Structure 1
Amino acid sequence: MSGAPPAEPPPEGERGALRSALAGLTTRGRSFLAAGIAAAVCAYVLGQSDLLRVGLLLAALPLVCVAVLLRTRYLVSGSRRLSPARVPAAAESRVHLRVDNVSRLPTGLLMLQDRVPYVLGPRPRFVLDRVEPGGRREVSYRVRSDLRGRYPLGPLQLRLTDPFGMCELNRAFSSHDTLTVVPRTEPLPAIRLSGEASGYGDGRQRSLALAGDDDVIPRGYRHGDDLRRIHWRSTARYGELMVRREEQPQRTGCTVLLDTRRCAHRGAGPDSAFEWAVAGAASVGVHLLERGFSVRLLTDTGNSVPGPDAGGFGGDSSDVAGLLLDTLAVVDHSEESGLSPAYDVLRSGREGLLVAFLGGLDEEETAVVSRMRQRTGSAVAFILDGPAWSRVGGTWDGGLRDGGNGAQEAYEERLGQLREAGWTAVPVHPGDTLPRLWRELDGAPLRVGARPGGPAGGGR
């Protein structure tokens, strides 16, 4: 929620504020002022005191309206609240606007306008009747976007008018808010994934649970510990209450690799192949976090979320899910020509599960992806069928220059090479849905033992 508290005009800006207020006189106000001045001049020339009074009244009325509005301008505050501030693509968010009158005088007619990007819809405008002293008015409008991203809302613009229509003043509040539109996530079926060990890591042994009583490493008693966990032998040895240390389960690590290379994807818009890959990476990341995996997002540039300073895969699942979605909301094409930076990150340690969303691959990049398999426990690759997507819209070369049947044959060849390297390669065609492709993985076991140069087992 953002707000703009009322403020008094700075002393050095009073002259400029008065000048801008006089410039806000409407046609009616200018006419009254001109008529009053003309009547006052004629009264002076003709010596008519009654006409002079009429002229002064006509000239004073718009000036009084200017003074009242100029004071009211700094005694009206506005605020904005988003509900919610993060929404999936094609979902609606409601924006609540609130105007408070903190002065001792009622306001005149108020016209509100909030500045929003064109992609979110037209600019909302509202007309508010007079606001009593200390009163408030609340209005709301809805915004919606089919395109993911971060969109600024504001500033809120307020137009004040007096009851006589003599003057109009505008005020723009300085506060802004940001609406985050994240990729749409689809619920995925629960399937058995290779490398999953009931949430205790990649086949790691539960050493503490299997250790004997003499091998227990106790720790000091903390408020709230179960008294049944007190280790009496250690308590007698150290002279203070000691409890058995609980087992610290190791969560299975998973890396979601997203290929964002501009040369690997063609087309634009919410139905493009790149947007399918982004939405797929978001769906898989959220699904695996709900399954108890520790997930990180890795792009072809070598950037990972959470980063290495956050402890690798660690973190609360809800916080990590929000971080992943916020990152995917603004991810864009990269200018990288290959996947070597991502391979260098994977080379730093053995991964538990690797799920990749890949675009067009040439022979060199296929070899890099094949080597990635050596650093993972199991690997799944969703490879977008570039030639098929190009027939729906956009252009495609996929690292090739012949196109047509040659591009399709090369695509099938890349699938075969990755399967021989030990990947579970899943082709993605236009119209395919991720839940259906994910469900098919349950019927075909993921390859765990295969390595480049080894036998090709399993597959889709």
Structure 2
Amino acid sequence: MAQGGTGQADTGRGERGGGVRTALSGLTTRGRSFLAAGVAAAICAYVLGQPDLLRVGLLLAALPLVCAAVVYRTRYRVAGSRRLSPGRVPAGSEARVHLRMDNVSRLPTGLLMLQDRVPYVLGPRPRFVLDRVEPGGRREVSYRVRSDLRGRYPLGPLQLRLNDPFGMCELTRSFSTFDTLTVVPRVEALPAVRLSGEAKGYGDGRQRSLALAGEDDVIPREYRYGDDLRRVHWRSTARYGELMVRREEQPQRSRCTVLLDTRGAAFRGAGPDSAFEWAVSGCASVLVHMLERGFSVRLLTDTGASVPGEGADGFAGASQESADAAGLMMDTLAVVDHSDGTGLSRAYDVLRGGKEGLLVAFFGELDEEQAAVAGRMRQRSGGAVAFLLDGDTWGREPNEAPETMNRTKERLRMLREAGWTAVSVPRGASLTELWQRADQERSGVVTAGRASGGEA
């Protein structure tokens, strides 16, 4: 649940312009019609010499002017707030926006029309009619928003529309606060499988490494009050003449790099059911799954860019809460878009040989050159799994040459020969099934001499 902004609007004079021009600009169609009819009647009465018609004309012209003056001079001090529940929502799911209006003046309000500005992709613009609000009173209303497209969408500003009882004049006052609704990619729950990598996150069979910093960086060190006596190193104790303890062993978290291909030339189509949106959703699912399994995770794109605010070594999850790391990455994926790049060389340069642990990549269409670059990435990771989108089923044109239909099979062969566990992704495929298929294919190609993979 996200608490939105709060602001106040003064509906009296001095708010966003003043004077006769502001009052007359609020005349409705009815008010302008009355004013025009009154002026026309007054002119006809003067020309024809009809005093009774002149009085009717003056009455018609005066009514909208009086209503405009009354609405303009009416002073209400109203505070408004907006609350999002939740502030981050998956694509295709609904969020509820709660609006609250407080009358902080000493006078009761008249009829208020409340309107919130929202982007068209979230639905129609919500409008509400609020009855008289007593001094110190409040009114609460809510509406729902929904989007099938990822992104960050501004909500606001909140607007109040004041009307007179005759509908002659309408003035609008706006609050200054905005809020942002973040629509993140859909996340699919993945089963636990064993994929080739460094280790097993924080499982029972996890690897352990010696502490290299902090209180246990000396080997051995003197005994300190509260140390476990089972850690006493008797040989060093005899050598130094005082109690010495061994340094502490600490668990080592496995690493996983998730690579997202964002090249515009690698994907066809647009919209929530496009190949690129499937890749973004798959990338988000793997990130969340790996964090839940205890891995230190990094998000990488073909441009070489990663999520800001991660750990010093670029991996998130080891030095911060997994939920915060997942939220940071999901916010990044909510606004990720196609890049102008044509190659994967920048991502290859970021990868460090043998220190990346498990590498999970979501590729668009690859030509022969980029498939070779992707093949070399395998040498810089402890294990590599590739999901290659099948361009033949995602966006092949009806008149496209038949020989292009075998392009995906050729790229899969090149990746597998380079050591990747490569899986083709046809249109409408389930990531859960492909995730299990990748585990099955890995089990079929891993040789007996290769080190056992970690649980993912």
TM class, shorter-length: 0.7 to 0.9
Deviation (angstroms), 1:174? 1.4
- 2:389 corresponds to: 384
In structure 2, stretches of 5+ residues that fail to align are 46-54, 451-456
- 2:419 corresponds to: 422
- 1:412 corresponds to: 409
The worse-fitting range, judged by mean Cα deviation, of 363-372 and 406-415 is 406-415
- 2:5 corresponds to: 2
Counterpart-to-counterpart distance in 1, 2:159 and 2:11: 18
The 5 Å alignment of 1:12-411 reads 16-17=18-19, 19-25=21-27, 27=30, 63=66, 66-67=69-70, 69-73=72-76, 75-163=77-165, 165=167, 167-199=169-201, 205-207=208-210, 215-217=219-221, 247-306=249-308, 310-314=312-316, 315-347=320-352, 350-391=355-396, 395=397, 403-411=400-408
**C-alpha root-mean-square deviation of aligned residues, in Å?**
4.1
Deviation (angstroms), 1:286? 0.4
**SS of alignment partner, residue 442 of structure 1:** helix
Deviation (angstroms), 1:138? 0.7
TM-score, with length taken from structure 1? 0.78
Deviation (angstroms), 1:311? 3.9
Deviation string 1:419-460 (CA, Å, 9 cap, x unpaired) is 01100001111121000111223333366789xxx9xxxxxx
Looking at both structures, which has the greater relative contact order when contacts are Cα pairs under 8 Å and sequence separation is at least 6? 2
TM-score, with length taken from structure 2? 0.79
In structure 1, stretches of 5+ residues that fail to align are 43-51, 397-401, 455-460
Deviation string 1:353-390 (CA, Å, 9 cap, x unpaired) is 00000011111111101110110000000001111212
Deviation (angstroms), 1:406? 1.5
Counterpart-to-counterpart distance in 2, 1:31 and 1:430: 62
> Counterpart of 1:176 in structure 2: which amino acid?
F
Deviation string 1:76-129 (CA, Å, 9 cap, x unpaired) is 122211111110000000011111111111111111111111111111111111
Counterpart-to-counterpart distance in 2, 1:229 and 1:162: 84
Contact 1:145 1:181 in 2 (8 A): yes
> Counterpart of 1:189 in structure 2: which amino acid?
P
Is residue 431 of structure 1 aligned with residue 425 of structure 2? no
Q: 1:364 to 1:28 in 2, by over 3 A?
A: closer
Contact 1:29 1:165 in 2 (8 A): no
What percentage of aligned pairs have identical amino acids?
63
Is residue 444 of structure 1 aligned with residue 441 of structure 2? yes
Contact 1:257 1:300 in 2 (8 A): yes
Tell me how many residue pairs correspond in the alignment.
Answer: 417
Q: 1:275 to 1:110 in 2, by over 3 A?
A: same
- 2:453 corresponds to: none
Q: 1:274 to 1:68 in 2, by over 3 A?
A: closer
Deviation string 1:223-244 (CA, Å, 9 cap, x unpaired) is xxx7757978999xx9xx9998
Contact 1:297 1:306 in 2 (8 A): no
Counterpart-to-counterpart distance in 2, 1:85 and 1:17: 40
Counterpart-to-counterpart distance in 2, 1:14 and 1:299: 46
**SS of alignment partner, residue 365 of structure 1:** helix
> Counterpart of 2:395 in structure 1: which amino acid?
S
